[in-house]
Amino acid sequence: MKKNKLALLIGLLFIFTLMIRGLWAYETNQTLISGKMVAAEDGRPLAGVILIEKGRLYGKNYQFSGLVDENGTFAVKVPEGGDYALHLYATGYIYFPIGVEVQTGKDNQFNISLPPNAAIKAAPTISKVSFKPRAGDPEKVVIELWVDDPNDDLSHQVLGANIKTQEGFIFKPPEFVFPWTKIYPDGVYSLTYDTKGRSFDPNEWFFVAADNRCYNSPVLAHPFTKQGIVQAKASGKQKAPPSAMEAPDTKDLPEFGRKTYENNCAICHYADKRKKKVGPSLKGLFKMRVTPGRKLPVTEENICNQIQQGSKRMPPYSHIKGKTLKALIAYLKSL
C-alpha cells in the first residue's frame, strides 16, 4: 500500500515537472518586441506609448501596442517574427518611427532615443474623447477623438492603444483622404471597436496623434483631459549621464557627433546611402553645393541654423548646441 502511494506521488511529481517545463518553454519561446525609451538630451527614461505596424514602415497596418512605463521600458508580444514598424510617443517629444526585423521565439530588444520638441505649441492636440455603444450591436463601441493641428499638417497617425490587450488601431478621418500621404483634416476621428464580449474599460486606452513634422500630441489616458496627460518624465531632478550632456573637446568629436546623429537625425535621414528616408540623405552633405531640401549654400552656418530652427518639414532641434552641435557638424563633414 505504501509502495503504491509512493509510486503515485512520484508519478504526480513527474507530471508536475513536465508541466512546469512546458510552461517555461512556452514563456521563453514567445516573440517579444521590447526595449527602452530615453530622452536624447539627457538620457533620462521617458514614459509614453508604443504603436506597432505589422509589415513595412507607414503601411498603416497598426495592430499592436504597449505601455512605455516610467522606467522607459516596454514589452509587446507579437505572434511571429518578420518586418515590423515601431512608433514611439512621449508627451513633449518628437516621435520616433523605425522599421525593424523581428526574430521568432526571441526577445527582440530596441533602445530608442527621442529628441525634445522645441515647438510643442505647434503639436497636434486631442481635445475630447467619447465612447458610445454602436446602435444595434452591443459588443461594439464607437470611439471618437476631436483632433486639431495648429500647423494644419496632420498626418494619418491618429492612433489608439489598448494596453490591456496590446492591440493597436488607426482611426478613420472625418473625410476621405487620397493619397494617404496628403495632409489630413482637423475634426472628429472615429474607430468602431469590437469588444468580443469583454466589458469595455476606458482605463485600458491611450490615444495620440502626430503630424508630418513628427510632432505628436500629448499622450492621453483616462480621464482624457489635462489630468489624463501622460507626463514623459518622472517628477524630481535626476542626474543625467555625462556623455549625454556635453561633448568631448578634440579628437573624439566625430564619434560623439555620430552618437548625436543616431539619437536625433537618423529618425529621418540616412547617413550611409544616397536614398530618401523621411527626409533626404545626408551622405556627402558637405560635398554638395546646396542643401537637398531648401537649396541653401552648404555652409556651417546654414546647416547649424537648419538643425536648430528646423524648416517646413523638419522639426527644430534647439537642444543641440555648443560642443554637441560642433560634434554633429564634424560628423556630418565625415560622411
3-class secondary structure per residue, 125-180: EEEEEEEEEECCEEEEEEEEEEEECCCCCEEEEEEEEECCCCEEEECECCCCCCCC
Residue 248 has pLDDT above 80, yes or no: no
Residues belonging to the chain: 335
Distance from C-alpha of 33 to C-alpha of 24, rounded to nearest angstrom = 19
Residue 210 has pLDDT above 90, yes or no: yes
Do the bridges between strand 32-39 and strand 107-114 make them parallel or antiparallel, or are there none, so unpaired? parallel
Rounded average pLDDT over 115-144: 93
Whether the predicted pLDDT of 194 surpasses 70: yes
SS3 call for 289: coil
Per-residue confidence (pLDDT) for residue 267, from 0 to 100: 76
Residue 103 half-sphere exposure toward CB, CA atoms < 13 A:
7
pTM (2 d.p.): 0.80
What is the C-alpha separation between 68 and 99, in angstroms, rounded? Answer: 18
Poorest-confidence range of 138-152, 233-247, 305-319? 233-247
pLDDT at 16: 55
Report how far residue 255's alpha carbon sits from residue 248's, in angstroms, rounded to the nearest whole number: 10
Biggest alpha carbon–alpha carbon distance for the chain: 95
| Higher-confidence position of 126 and 5 | 126
Percent with pLDDT over 70 in the chain: 86
**pLDDT over 90 (residue 138):** no
84, containing H or E segment = strand 82-89
Taking alpha carbons only, the member of 191, 216, 215 closest to residue 205 is 191
Summarize pLDDT for 27-72 with one digit per residue, the tens: 558 999 999 999 988 889 999 999 999 998 888 999 999 999 999 9
At residue 123, the pLDDT reads 94
Quick check: 334 and 328 in contact, CB under 8 A?
no
DSSP states of 188-217 as a string?
A: EEEEEEE-TTSPP-GGGEEEEEEETTSBBP
Give the per-residue pLDDT at 314: 83
Intervals of CATH 2.60.40.1120 along the chain: 31-239
What's the mean pLDDT in 191-211? Answer: 96
The lowest-confidence range among 153-162, 163-172, 290-299 is 290-299
**31-239 classified as CATH 2.60.40.1120:** yes
- Compute the average pLDDT of residues 2-24: 52
Q: What pLDDT does 134 receive? A: 92
Q: What pLDDT score does 10 carry? A: 56
pLDDT at residue 142 is higher than 70: yes
- The ranges of the chain annotated as CATH 1.10.760.10 are 246-334
Superfamily grouping for domain 246-334: Cytochrome c-like domain (1.10.760.10)
Residue 249: pLDDT band (50, 70, 90) is: low
Kindly state the average pLDDT of the residues 228-257.
Answer: 66
Kindly indicate the confidence band of residue 96, based on its pLDDT and cuts at 50, 70 and 90. Answer: confident
* Calpha distance 148→236 (Å, rounded): 31
In this predicted structure, what is the pLDDT of residue 4? 59
